[in-house]
Every structure is written in C-alpha cells, then in structure tokens.
Amino acid sequence: MEKRYWKGVDELNNDPEFVRLRNNEFFEHLPLNETLQKKAESDSSTSRRDFLKFLGFSVAAASLAACDAPVKKAIPYVVKPEEITLGVPNYYASTFADGSDYCSVLIKTREGRPIKIEGNEMSSVTKGATNARVQASVLSLYDTARLQQPMAKKKRTEWNTIDAEITAKLAEQAAAGKKIAVVTSSMYSPSGKRALSDFIAKYPTASHVVYDAVSYYGMLKGNELSFGKSVIPSYSIDKAEVIVSFNADFLQNWLSPIEFARQYGETRKLRKGKRTLSKHHQFESMLSLSGANADQRHKIKPSQQSAVIASLYNKVAALTGGTSVNATSTPLDKSLDSIAKELVAAKGKSVVMSGSNDPNEQVMVNAINFLLGNYGSTINLDRTCNLKNSNDAGYAQLLSDMDGGGVGAVIFWNTNPAYTASNPKAFAATLAKVPVKISLSDREDETAQICDYVCPDHHYLESWGDAEAYKGSFSLMQPTIRPLFNTRQAGESLLKWSGNTNTDYYTYIRSTWNTSVFPMQNGMSSFDAFWNQALRDGIFEASFVIGGATSFSGNVAAAATLLAKPASGIEIAVYEKAGLGNGAGGNNPWLHELPDPITKVCWDNYFAVLPAYAEKMGWRQGTVIEVKVGNSSVKGPVLLQPAMADETIAVALGYGRTNCGKAGNNVGFNAYPLVSMTGGVLNYYATGVAVNKTVEDDYTFALTQTHHTMMGRDIVKETSLAAWLKDPKAGNPPELIASPEGPMSPEELDLWKTKDEPGFDRINHAWGLGIDLNSCIGCGACVIACNAENNVPVVGKDEIGRAREMHWIRIDRYYTSDTTKENAEEKGLGKLDMYGEMEKPASDNPQIMFQPVMCQHCNHAPCETVCPVAATTHSSDGLNMMAYNRCVGTRYCANNCPYKVRRYNWFKYSDNDQFPYNMNDSLGKMVLNPDVTVRSRGVMEKCSMCIQRIQYGRLDAKKEGRRPKDGEIKTACAQGCPTNAIVFGDFNDPNSQISELFKDERSYHLLASVGARPSVFYQTKVWNRTEEPVKNHHS
Amino acid sequence: MLRYVYRILTINVLALSLIVIFQTSAKAQPNGEALFKANCTACHVVGDDVVVGPGLKNVHIKYKEDWLIKWIRNSQALIKSGDPQAVKVYEQFNKVAMTSFNLSDDEIKSLIGYIKTTSEAAPAAPTPASGTEVAAGSGAEDGNSSLTLMLVTLTLIVLFVILNRVQKGLQRVADNRNGIPEPVKLTGKAGLKAWIRGNKKLIAFLFIAVSVLGSVAGWNALAGIGINQNYAPDQPIKFSHQLHVTQNKIDCRYCHSGAEKSKNAGIPSPNLCMNCHKYVKKGPKYGTEEISKIYEAIGWDVDAQQYTGKTKPIKWIRVHNLPELAYFNHSQHVKVGGVECETCHGPVGEMEVIKQFSPLTMGWCIQCHRDTPVKMEGNGYYSAVHEKYKEKYGPDAKLTVEKLGGTECARCHY
C-alpha cells in the first residue's frame, strides 16, 4: 500500500497560482520592488549609471569614513557582583506561571540580563520540558509596551500617591459596606493566596474571585459531583497504555500541556529495548495537535461529544459490570466497541480525558475512569492539581453584583476580562458601575484601559514568587534582573493596601515558606539552609501519604440525562493555538510568527473549515464570513483545513487584541464573543450558528508550508507497530539508486572520495542530531528556542507572505491520503489519474505527520561546492559552517540545497523601522544572545547546530582537561524539546546516545538518494494502529 | 666605474641602517634601585610624602643601619620586642604593619645606599617613573634613526647628481676628442621635446616607478583601514601599566581575572582597585590626582574613610576592538593554550599608556594558528585523540592549531 503526501490544500486543489509557482524552486514573488513600493521609495528609478556613481561615491566615502575608527567606550561595573564573570552565563532556577501554563525553568543570564529560558530538569512536574510560550516569555520582559510607572486616571503618578489614594478609597468602600473583589486568574501561589487573605482580613467585604478565560470549572464541578471534593486530579499519562481524549488538547493546551507532552513522549519512544507504544484515540471536531498525533482520530461535531462519551461509558460498563445509562446511538458506536475493549484490556493502565467544561460530561468521564480502575494508577485524586481553579459561577455572580451596584471596588490581577468577555461593551458598562477600578496589569490592556488605577506588576523575571502546582510540589520564582521600570510586584501592592508593615515580598515569601513549607520536610534543621537549597533547585517536593481507595459517589444516570444533545446545523468550536494560547502574551512577535503547528499560518486566526464543506457553502480560502451566535457576531476569513469535522467551524482565541502593544494589536480577530455562559459554565462551542458570506473574498494568509516544496519526494517515513515488531526496518527500506551494476546505495555510488578526502575522517568530534519522528509532536517549542538562542529576526506577516521567513528550524506538516498504487488499479485509474488522485485525500480524515527540518549539515554538502566566495565550508567535526562576513549573497547555496533550509536576509531586520519588532528598539535588543552575530542585509544564514554552544561546551571540557560528557552540550532545539525527540551528540563517542540511536533500524537520512550524507538523521514514525501497515512510496 | 661607485654606496646604506637598527640603550641598573622598585614602591617613595608607609627621604640619616636592617626584615618582631623607636614609628603611622622582607644584609645595605643617593640627588621631587624615561628614550632613538636615514639618502642623491654631471662632462670631453660636434642647445618647447626624446628610458622608468609606488602606497593605505595597531588613546585615568606591572609586579590576572575563565579578560571594576588604593593614596607621578578619580568613581570619601554610595562609572576608551563578527575567547588561549598575555598584548609592562600592540587582523590570528603547536600532553581533552592525529599527520608532525581545525571559519565566526 503506497501513500502520497501533499503539502496543503492549494496543491490538493491544483490552484492555478500554486500550479504556476510550484515549478519554481522557490515559492516566492519577485521582484523586490513590490516591498519597496509600499513606501513609494522606488518612485525615482535609478539607472545603472547612477548606480555606478553612487557605488563609486559610497566606496570612497566609506573608505574615508573608515580611516577614523569610532571611539568605543568600555565601562566596567563600579562594584562587580561577585557571581558575575563577564562572558560567562549564570543560571537561576525560577518558575513560569502565567495562569495558563506552568513550567519550572532555568533562566540563563548574561551580565545580569535574562536571555534564554530552559526547562528545569529537577522538577518532578515538567522534568525539563518547555513549550513555545515559555521559551518566548523572555522577550516579553523587554516589551516597550509595558507600563513604566503607575497610572491614575490615565496620568502618570508615583507609588506613594497612588497607594494613598487607593487605600483611602478602599477603606471608604469597605466602610460603606460595598463589596471589594479581587479578580485573578487561577491562583496557586501560597504567598499570593496568603497576601489575598491578608487583604480580605483588612477589608472584610473583600472576596477573591478566580476567573480564567479558558476555564476548567466544569472539571472541578465534575469531580465534586463524582468524589465529593472540588479538585482536579493529577494525570500520569506516562503510565497509560491506552489514552482516550475527548477534545482535550493535552499536548498543547489542556491542563498542564508541558508536563503531559513529556509524559506522552515517553510512551511514544522505542528505545533501549522498549517495544511498546501507547495507543492514543482522539475524538475531536477541529484538528488539534493532540489529534494530529493520535493513532486513531475520530471526527465528531462538538455537540456529539457528550453522546459519544455516554456511549463509551455504556460499552465500558457492559464489559466491566457497571450500570448502563440512557444514551442515544452515535455513528461511532462501532469504533467505540473496540476502544472499550482496548480500554478494558488495559484496565488500570489507561486514561480517559475530556476537554469539556460541562460538569456532567466530566462525571461521565470520571465514571469511565473509575470503572477502568485508573484512579490510583494513572489518575491520582490525592496529589491534586492546583493549576486551574477558576470559578465560572463566582465570576458570573460578581458580574451581576457589579451590575446591581453592590460592588465598591474591583482589582484585576493577571486577568483581562474586558478582552475575554463575550460582550466587551456590556462588560465595560458593568465595570463602569464600580466606583473604584484597579488593574495590576503590566500594560494598559483592554481592562486597564477602563480602570481608574493601573499599578503595573513586574514581569515574572523581575519577581519573587512561589507556586504549588500540585499538592506538595512547590516551586520558587526569583528575580533575575533588577526591575526595568518603576513597577511593583502585584503581591506587594496588595500587602501595601492591606496595611502590612512589612511589604517586602521576598521576606513575605520567606515567612510563608518558613511557616507552611519548611515543616513539610525533615532533612534540614535550619530554614536558611532549606531556603537556599529550594531557591537553588527552584523546587521543593514534599512527601505526603497517599490516601486510601477512591470511591466514586457520582450519580451517572442523572448526569447522563443532563448531557448536551447532538444538534444539527453548523456548529462552532473555539480553541487555543500553540503560540498565543488564551492571548495573554499577545504582544510577543516570536509567538505571532511561530507557524501554527497544524495550519502553518503565522500572524492570524481564521475560521477553519473542512474543504468539502466550504465548497458546499461556496467559500474558498480567504472568503470572509460573518459568524453569529446569539447576539454576538464575529467576522473573519475562512481557512480550508482538512480533517475538520463536517459542518463545524473552528476558531482560535487569543487574537484581535486592541491594547497589548504594537506587535500584537489588531492581529487577527477576537473570537471570545463566541464563548458564552450556558448552564452556569463557560461554553467553548456553540450550536445554532448563523453564517453569512461577506463580499470580501481575497484575504491572504502568511503560510509557511507551501513555500518549501520537496518536489514530490518522500521525506517522512512511517510504519505500524505490528509491522515494526516483525521487521525493525519496516517502513524504512534503504534508498537505492539504479546503476549499471544494479541498485546501489548512494554511499557506494558516491562521486566523492570519502576516506582519503582530507577532513572527512572526523578525528576529534562528529557532531550530529537525531530526530525521532515518533516522539516529535510538532509543537514548535524548538522553533522559539532557536529564535531566542540564535537571534533570529522577526520579519512580519508581509514578508512571510513572500516566503522570506527567517526561522532556522521549521516543522513540516504533511497530510497523507489513502489512494495508493495498489488500490488505484482496483479503482480502475490510469497512471496519470492515479498520481492526480494521490494528491487528493480519499477520505476527509487524513493522517498527519510532523518533521522538524533544519540544516542537515551534509558531509557532502551541495551548498558548499557552489559558493563562489567559500563563505560556506565544512568543519573537521562535521558541521556546515556559514561565515556571514564572507557571504556576498549570491544565494547559489540556497538554490543548491536539497532541503531548502537556508535563509536569506532580504533586509536589515535590526534598527529598521520597516520591521518594528524587538530588534528595532534598544530595550528589545537586550534579549539578543551576545555570542551570536546579528546578521545584516544581503547574507545567507542557516542553522549552525548552535555552534556557540558546542564551542562553549568543548572549551569547558578543555579547561578541565577532559572529553565533553554526552548530553553536556545540547542545541537549543534539543534542550527546548518537551518530548526529547531531538538528541544532539557526538557520533565519534561510541557510548553517546546519538550513536546508539543511529544504529537503530528506524534511522534514515532525509533524501538519502541525493547522497549529501547529512549529519542529521530521522527515525521512522511508528503508528500504533490496528489497520494494515503502510508502506512508503518510492519513485 | 660608476657601477662600482653605486655598489659601494648601496653597501654603505645597508651598513648604516644596520648600525641604526642595532643601536641599543642598555643601561645597567644598580642593585639597590631594582630592589627598591621591586619591594618598596607599593608603599613608599623616596620623598616626604606618606603613601602607605612614610616617605623615605633621608631615612639613612634618621635611623641607624643596623636598626633599619632589623626593621626591614621583620618590623613586627622588633615592635613586639619593645624597641621604643620601632613602637614609635608603628604608632606614628596608624599602626599599619609593614611586610617582612627576607633580604640579605648586603641587599638591605644596597637598598639603603639607593635611598641615600636618591635622597641627595632629588631633594624634593618624588622619583619619576622610569617608564617615561624608557619611552622618551626610545622615541628619541626612533627620531635619530630616521634622521640618519634621511641624511644618508640626501647625501646619496647629491652624490648621484654630481656623478651624473661628471659623467656628462667626461662624455663631452671624449666626444670633442673624437670630433663629434657638441649638440645644438635647444630651448623652450623644442628643448623639452628634445629632452624627452633623449631620455625616453628615464621617463618610462619614472612613470613605472611612480605608478608602482603609488599602487603599493594605495594598497597599503587601504589594507590598513580598520587596523589600529599602536592605538593608544588618552584614558580617563592616566593608569600606568608600567608602574603596576613592572614596578609593583602585579600579575595581569589579578585585575584581568576573566582571562582564565571567560571570553572577556575584563576591565577591573573600581572596587578591585580599592583593594590597594584604599591604602595607596598617592602615585609617584601624578600624586593624588589620578587616584582620586577612582575614589570619585566608587564614591570613597578619603577624609571620612568611608563609602558615600555615590558612584560614577569610569568610561575607559576601548583599545582592543575586535569586529562584532569575530569571536575570541581569552580562556581558550590563556588557560587551555597557555599563551602568555605578552604574546598578543606586547610588553604591557613597559607601557605608560596602554596601546594595541598587535594588528588584530585575521591574517595575524591565522598565522599564529598555523605556527603554534597544540600542547596535547597533560590535557585529557587532547590526549584522547592524540594518537589519531599522529596517525593522520605522521608521528613527528607538528600538530598545530590549524591541523586540529583551528583555522576553520566557524571557530571564530558565528
């Protein structure tokens, strides 16, 4: 059975523009003038003679100017901090907790500047994993849109003044018996909670309301109904053999995605004798990252989900002896039968999750897990998860209180309801009824805009803080830079207003830990020693006794009757994207430019629709439609997205910010109005949607995927677990080339001498990367990690549209289709038709494959031989080097690269007002890695395999007179990868992990038949599917 | 015959220049002076000023030689023994203990001798830093040599002209004798034309010479753009490496401690200066003027002997400027390679004002990488692969940095 891969809908539909452009090696629009014309700069045409004149003059001018070297100053510290050595980074353990993601991190600082975030391997929760948002958070520190001082009624003020005013007003409101509300996002900081309770003690009318834009209230309620306690349990996906997820995108957004991605990655590894894979079923309506990685993906409309869960419950109950409930039949019942069997077979080693915010659905899911005996093994109700604790009902109550005039003051801390409200205008009107409105936002965001006082919070890299992510799993947050602006920690503001005598948050946290955390350990007798240890590690793990058996006390039958019923007609599903999530970090250009893992669209959100459905509705890519749900209406463009459920429109939250800063304002549109409060909970899908087509029909997206054609060759290899168990080389047959002596391997047919060639015998090191396609989930953490490490510029939507993105690492996403050479004959297709059909998916549920592609560091590099100035050459340790200062920008190398990984600097992206991102202001430039050159216009660049890290690690080893240890040096992508799919190492070290992996039969080189002999290798993707094994297509 | 004359002249010129080159100014240093500079200058001057310890002018008159020997060897023991004179001195100078010096009697005597001569020679002024002498001396020598060369060239040109005339006269005499008539002297344009006709070779030679010299000069000028060898800007503090390195024998890495740990050697921060200058309040050349700039930077109130908290960073002028595109790591060279600081930075100990000694061009870097063998023994990093390199390049090959990949682009450019 053979498969064809296709790159996108454009190719699939033989879009005339695509057909015209696909024959060009580079999918881009020339000439350059188009870009220049937008500023009318090219009005005056410059002739060749003028050009020569200018050239002559500028050479002369440059020579003259160069004669007088500029005087550079060197200003040492007046008092150098003892721990700082210029040029040597310091690492500090800290915690990223923005209410949406939680991650224990290490902050790399250089000369007191945080420049890179790494995962903290000591954490038992995230275990060194990160995601794109965590990686990008360092850039938010240097955001010019941050407020630089407190503001009162839109005027700059001082802390003393604003504190006096606020304290007086709060006292006034409390005295009048008016309610005071502190609205926060999910709160799991012990000291933060203590500060809140201190505040409430001072103002007895005060209360704490937790409001998350993306709420898990339904889960809390569901667990309360099931087990009598309003908690979220901890999940151990790594212990699960069968994973069933109902629209829970646990690899990207759901609950604790960083932790789950690391756990999931472990279940997808076939290393060190491990010969089992988890089996992952995903039920969903839009194509999520988790769905793309699922072994079996089942498409359902959002409203069908409850019925499917009920049906699954009945089937599991039938097999385990539980009581069945009333359930309607669903079209998926046949699949559910086998899934139920799989689940029961893996009793105690499975996990069922639901992303729904409906408490009754969560009760059903809990019941399934309980029947399967998962509590106590893969799910733990004793080690509770504190990451999400929003209270939809409490927030709704607050809103109605505010409307009724009973609320005297409201404080918003790390929450932005004016943006996330279903009806922003109504929210503004409600808020206007509150006399005292205070925002602790770090910028004048949508909510701060309509507040009286803004008391800007520090960035987390400037803050002291703590977190208890799970019961007993504590972590600390410490400042890694002095506050850049006249801002103040939000907790400290509360302490001030509570009238605390000691408002120093550091001392406050210490005292919290001294009284409540320190007693949980018994190893150390001195608090100072304990504190220093915890601060150094960033974490503290308390041991606690796990309670007895879990008993399920929920009423399944009652819950089943309350479940949502399948609806007919168009439905809408809202979700979060990998980059922006809920939109809190909306001004981060790195995240905007991160191609969405699935759609590969940058700088936009859209209405994703199944192509067949779009055709039926008369929409095409770029058609702007208006979606109406109840009284809300949202306008946006259509994006054709294969694998969507029929009659379903999916749209991402987090876009359409209006007050977050210049990079993020008015990018995309706001989809929060489509989120409504139904049945006391926030509902993230809607039925009964009305859709109108507007006259606009030509919205363009900045897509990265179709730019880099692989000319129809197979680059991703896959097989099934069953086939792999039989033959470890399954799906990975050697690529042979026809020769007079019969088929030969590219190595044997090599044009180049290998052994005798100087430089090819790598004596010292032979660096390389191994990428396991089986554990790569395509999340994009590596892309942002690379951005931060290698000073990759942001180019903006316009330039991405011209295929000029600068990312050194891209993640290719391929859809597979079901027409194969074998079944084409059955269908009676001719050769031409067969290939035409192979470009179309036979079913509308294609499989998805991800493949990270960076410079392959070919040992016989095609780029090196064509460079006229020898700017790209090979090193004796196997790296393809790029000397920017030697490059003259002919781009021959990019033309000759079979992998299309070279990037050309069409413009100077730093200090250029055309690119108003972080490299254009002195504050944003502080994030730059001082060990990596900022490239200028007209030079080629590409992945250097983090040569600066290699050099640094090697030098460390040399200084200590030893060989570098395996794993000591890691590229940024490998270190940032949440699933450890990327491994860096030395092939010359026989004991290194990479040498071990390379020996594995799943290993292959990308386009091996080209004979470029890359230093990067991939490992076949192995699906755990019951269907027939798939074989790759070889032309 | 003339050829011989030219040849002799050429030899003369060469000989002259050799003489100029080998002219050296070797000066014998008296033992006492060397000892004084090595051991005493950190705290004392031969004058009236108190630096850390008292000024030593006429100290040979004030105290007996025997007592001085005892005091210098171990002042603390002398104080403890209750010697009244010793206790008096100790208390007079704020009870700052003087370091003990393990010197022989003769050495101390020569020291005292040096103090004696200096006290008599320079009654009031503190000893000038000898660095300035050296610098001034060498500068004068440079001037002398170029002046000599110019004189020689001028003499040669005059000689050439005279000989040319003599030859022409002789030719005329010979022509007359052979009956060749004297050519008619033409004037004006015609004369110039005739001269050109008669001297085609000379003109061609001059033309080629001028264009070649011009091109060479132009090339050199262009190639020198961005090369700031000998760049020695005036610094905000007239810090003398000569004084600190040569006289006070402070190791380079005491102040530039990053050299072994980091890519940057680092410019010391004023708090490091204060380790000594909290006590050393006066310099030998500029007195308190320059040292007070450190106090101003770090906010040290000299009178109150405490920090004020008002700091003002010192804005040094950067002397060694590598372009941003080049990566250089001090620790690789100093710690791993064992390269002496002076190899690249030159005789810093002789520099009154720090200057860029090396051209810092890529050619200069590469040349060293081509010539320098890697010290493989004793470093586990290299010894693990030493055999393999021997196998590749032969057992006796010089394993230079280049052979280990030290001239590859991405070692320094990324």
Q: Any long-range contacts for A760-765 (C-beta under 8 Å, 24+ apart)?
A: A760/A859, A761/B392, A762/A876, A762/A877, A762/A878, A762/A987, A762/A988, A763/A876, A763/A988, A763/B385, A763/B388, A763/B389, A763/B392, A764/A876, A764/A877, A764/A988, A764/B385, A764/B404, A764/B405, A765/A877, A765/A878, A765/A954, A765/A986, A765/A988
Q: What is the pLDDT of residue B8?
A: 56
User: Quick check: B149 pLDDT over 70?
Assistant: yes
Proportion of chain B above pLDDT 70, given as a percent: 85
Is A329 at the interface with chain B, CB within 8 A? no
Look-up of token digits 């409203």? A303
Residues of B in contact with A87 (CB under 8 A): 258, 262-264, 266, 329
Residues of B in contact with A67 (CB under 8 A): 225
Q: What is the pLDDT of residue B28?
A: 40
Contact B380 A963 (CB under 8 A): yes
Dmax (CA) of chain A:
96
Q: What is the pLDDT of residue B243?
A: 93
Give the residue on A whose Cα is nearest the Cα of B221.
A67
Q: Residue length, chain B? A: 414
Q: What is the pLDDT of residue A1016?
A: 95
Q: Which of B294, B409, B412 to mutate to test the interface with A (most CBs of A within 10 A)?
A: B409
With contact defined as beta carbons under 8 Å apart, do B321 and A880 qualify? no
User: Quick check: A1031 pLDDT over 50?
Assistant: no
Give the one of B226, B314, B404 whose C-beta lies nearest to A76's C-beta.
Answer: B314
Q: What is the pLDDT of residue A175?
A: 94
Within 10 A of B144 (CB to CB), how many other CB atoms are there? Answer: 12
Contact A73 B316 (CB under 8 A): yes
A173 closest CA partner among A454, A435, A494: A435
Q: Is the bond preceding A31 in cis, omega lying within 30 degrees of 0?
A: yes
User: Quick check: A776 pLDDT over 80?
Assistant: yes
Q: How many CA atoms lie within 13 A of B192 on its CB side?
A: 2
For residues B45 and B54, give the distance between their C-alpha atoms in angstroms, rounded to a whole number: 8
Residues of A in contact with B269 (CB under 8 A): 76-80
A449 closest CA partner among A658, A169, A161, A167: A658
With contact defined as beta carbons under 8 Å apart, do A215 and A390 qualify? yes
Residues of B in contact with A85 (CB under 8 A): 257-258, 261-262, 266
Tokens of A110: 């250089």
Look-up of token digits 């859809």? A815
The crossing angle, in degrees rounded to 10, of helices A132-141 and A781-790 is 30
Q: Which residues contact B115 (CB under 8 A, 6 or more apart)?
A: B32, B36, B46, B56, B57, B59, B60
Lowest pLDDT segment from A249-253, A341-345, A895-899, B70-74: B70-74
Contact A79 B378 (CB under 8 A): no
Q: What is the pLDDT of residue B177?
A: 83
Question: In this predicted model, what pLDDT tens digit does every residue of A518-556 receive, in sequence order?
Answer: 999 888 899 999 999 999 999 999 987 776 677 899 899
Q: What is the pLDDT of residue B13?
A: 46
Q: What is the pLDDT of residue A33?
A: 47
CA angle A331, A336, A340 (to 5 degrees): 165
- The rounded mean pLDDT for chain A is 89
Q: What is the pLDDT of residue A707?
A: 41
Contact B258 A884 (CB under 8 A): no
Instruction: Give the C-alpha distances (Å, rounded to integers) separating A794 from A126, A137, A666, A791.
Output: 29, 15, 17, 9
Tokens of B155: 């003499």
Lowest pLDDT segment from A212-221, A348-357, A971-980, B99-108: B99-108
pLDDT band at B320 (very low <50, low <70, confident <90, very high): very high
Residues of A in contact with B267 (CB under 8 A): 74, 76
User: Quick check: A349 pLDDT over 90?
Assistant: yes
If contacts are CB pairs under 8 Å, which of residues 847-906 in chain A contact chain B? 871, 873, 875-877, 879, 881-886
Residues of B in contact with A947 (CB under 8 A): 410, 414
Q: What is the pLDDT of residue B191?
A: 83
With contact defined as beta carbons under 8 Å apart, do A379 and A234 qualify? yes
For residues A1013 and B251, give the distance between their C-alpha atoms in angstroms, rounded to a whole number: 50
Sign of CA dihedral A999, A1005, A1009, A1011: negative
Q: What is the mean pLDDT of residues A786-799?
A: 95
Q: What is the mean pLDDT of residues A558-564?
A: 91
Question: In this predicted model, what pLDDT tens digit does every residue of A118-146 receive, in sequence order?
Answer: 999 999 999 999 999 999 999 999 999 99
A252 closest CA partner among A112, A361, A100: A100
A775 closest CA partner among A25, A265, A157, A135: A265
Element (H, E) at A377: none
Q: What is the mean pLDDT of residues B293-303?
A: 92
pLDDT band at B7 (very low <50, low <70, confident <90, very high): low
Contact A66 B228 (CB under 8 A): no
Q: What is the pLDDT of residue B292?
A: 93
Kindly provide the ipTM of the predicted complex, given to two decimals.
0.85
Distance from CA of A751 to the nearest CA of B (A): 23
Contact B378 A959 (CB under 8 A): no
Contact A948 B414 (CB under 8 A): yes
Q: Which residues contact A15 (CB under 8 A, 6 or more apart)?
A: A9
Instruction: Give the C-alpha distances (Å, rounded to integers) separating A139 from A129, A606, A949.
Output: 19, 26, 20
Classified as helix, coil or strand, A120 is: coil
For residues A863 and A891, give the distance between their C-alpha atoms in angstroms, rounded to a whole number: 9
According to DSSP H, which parts of A458-518 are helical?
Answer: 490-497, 505-512
User: Quick check: A829 pLDDT over 80?
Assistant: no
Classified as helix, coil or strand, B411 is: helix
A546 class by beta-carbon count within 10 Å (0-12 exposed, 13-18 middle, 19+ buried): exposed
Look-up of token digits 């459905």? A613
Give the one of B262, B271, B411 whose C-beta lies nearest to A78's C-beta.
Answer: B271
Q: Which of B227, B255, B413 to mutate to test the interface with A (most CBs of A within 10 A)?
A: B413
- The rounded mean pLDDT for chain B is 82
Classified as helix, coil or strand, B45 is: coil
- The radius of gyration of chain A from alpha carbons, rounded to an integer in Å, stands at 29
Proportion of chain A above pLDDT 90, given as a percent: 74
Contact A958 B264 (CB under 8 A): no
For residues A1017 and A982, give the distance between their C-alpha atoms in angstroms, rounded to a whole number: 10
User: Quick check: B351 pLDDT over 80?
Assistant: yes
Distance from CA of A931 to the nearest CA of B (A): 8
What's phi and psi for B81, nearest 5 deg?
-70, -5
Higher pLDDT, B401 or A38: B401
For residues A847 and A296, give the distance between their C-alpha atoms in angstroms, rounded to a whole number: 9
Instruction: Give the C-alpha distances (Å, rounded to integers) separating A8 from A600, A704, A705, A796, A1030.
Output: 10, 10, 7, 22, 21
Give the one of B318, B335, B389 whose C-beta lies nearest to A72's C-beta.
Answer: B318
A958 closest CA partner among B112, B4, B384, B40: B384
Question: In this predicted model, what pLDDT tens digit does every residue of A304-327 receive, in sequence order?
Answer: 999 999 999 999 999 998 889 988
Contact A73 B392 (CB under 8 A): no
A586 closest CA partner among A47, A100, A130, A923: A100
Q: What is the mean pLDDT of residues A986-993?
A: 92
Is A832 at the interface with chain B, CB within 8 A? no
For residues B374 and B368, give the distance between their C-alpha atoms in angstroms, rounded to a whole number: 11
Amino acid at B18: L
Q: Which of A67, A951, A968, A1015 to mutate to test the interface with B (most CBs of B within 10 A)?
A: A951
Q: What is the pLDDT of residue B88?
A: 82
Q: What is the pLDDT of residue A99?
A: 84
If contacts are CB pairs under 8 Å, which of residues 19-78 in chain A contact chain B? 63, 66-67, 69, 71-78
Q: What is the pLDDT of residue B227?
A: 86
Contact B414 A873 (CB under 8 A): no
Contact A76 B316 (CB under 8 A): yes
Distance from CA of B298 to the nearest CA of A (A): 6
Contact A957 B381 (CB under 8 A): yes
Give the one of A85, A934, A944 whose C-beta lies nearest to B410's C-beta.
Answer: A944
> Cα A114 to chain center, whole Å?
21
For residues A595 and A580, give the distance between their C-alpha atoms in angstroms, rounded to a whole number: 11
The crossing angle, in degrees rounded to 10, of helices A305-320 and A333-345 is 50
Tokens of A259: 């932790």
The crossing angle, in degrees rounded to 10, of helices A359-371 and A305-320 is 20
B134 closest CA partner among B284, B19, B27, B287: B27
Contact B225 A63 (CB under 8 A): yes
- Phi/psi region, residue A127 (left: phi>0; alpha: psi -120 to 50; beta: rest), is left
For residues A808 and A813, give the distance between their C-alpha atoms in angstroms, rounded to a whole number: 16
| A116 bridge partner residues | A108
For residues A44 and A41, give the distance between their C-alpha atoms in angstroms, rounded to a whole number: 7
Q: What is the pLDDT of residue A356?
A: 93
With contact defined as beta carbons under 8 Å apart, do B160 and B10 qualify? no
Give the one of B222, B384, B410 whose C-beta lies nearest to A947's C-beta.
Answer: B410
With contact defined as beta carbons under 8 Å apart, do A941 and B315 qualify? no
Question: In this predicted model, what pLDDT tens digit does every residue of A741-755 receive, in sequence order?
Answer: 888 888 777 776 655
Question: In this predicted model, what pLDDT tens digit does every residue of B100-143 receive, in sequence order?
Answer: 777 888 888 888 888 888 877 754 444 444 333 333 333 344 45
HEC string of A960-1025 equals: CCCCCCCCCCCCHHHHHCCCCCEEEEECCCCCCHHHHHHHCCCEECCCHHHCCCCCEEEECEEECC
Q: What is the mean pLDDT of residues B186-190?
A: 78
Give the one of B316, B329, B409 whose C-beta lies nearest to A74's C-beta.
Answer: B316
What's phi and psi for B166, nearest 5 deg?
-60, -45
Residues of A in contact with B266 (CB under 8 A): 76, 85-87
pLDDT band at B174 (very low <50, low <70, confident <90, very high): confident
Proportion of chain B above pLDDT 90, given as a percent: 40
| pTM assigned to the model | 0.84
Lowest pLDDT segment from A67-81, B47-61, B62-76: B47-61
- Phi/psi region, residue A40 (left: phi>0; alpha: psi -120 to 50; beta: rest), is left
Contact A69 B321 (CB under 8 A): yes
pLDDT band at A836 (very low <50, low <70, confident <90, very high): low
Question: In this predicted model, what pLDDT tens digit does every residue of A467-491 receive, in sequence order?
Answer: 999 999 999 999 999 999 999 999 9
pLDDT band at A759 (very low <50, low <70, confident <90, very high): very low
Distance from CA of B47 to the nearest CA of A (A): 33
